[in-house]
């Protein structure tokens, strides 16, 4: 069963950053899909409920210089 978690982010504006977050996020164990919406300032993470999967996506955002926190 998939679980969807929504993260809020600030400063995610360019297509390159969106692509990077989505591509790297899908490589994380347990993550099925990552969809970034720059206009809404959100990141939707669909995952299998595995502990740490969402935090790993948030860590990617932080390493790229963006904020990431629960919506």
Distance CA 53, CA 38 (A): 21
For the whole model, what pTM was predicted? 0.92
Q: What is the pLDDT of residue 27?
A: 97
Q: Kindly give the parts of the chain with pLDDT less than 70.
A: none
DSSP 2-64: -EEEEEE-SS--SHHHHHHHHHHHHTSTTEEEEEEETTTTEEEEEE---TTHHHHHHHHHHHT
Q: What is the pLDDT of residue 14?
A: 87
Q: Going from the N-terminus, what domains does the chain have, and what CATH number goes with each?
A: 3-70 (3.30.70.100)
């Amino acid at each position: 069963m998939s679980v969807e978690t929504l993260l809020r982010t600030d400063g995610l504006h360019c297509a390159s950053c969106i692509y990077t977050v989505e591509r790297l996020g899908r490589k994380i164990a347990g993550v099925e899909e990552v969809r970034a919406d720059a206009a809404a300032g959100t990141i939707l993470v669909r995952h299998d409920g595995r502990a740490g999967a969402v935090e790993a996506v948030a860590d990617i955002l932080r390493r790229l210089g963006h904020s990431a926190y629960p919506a």
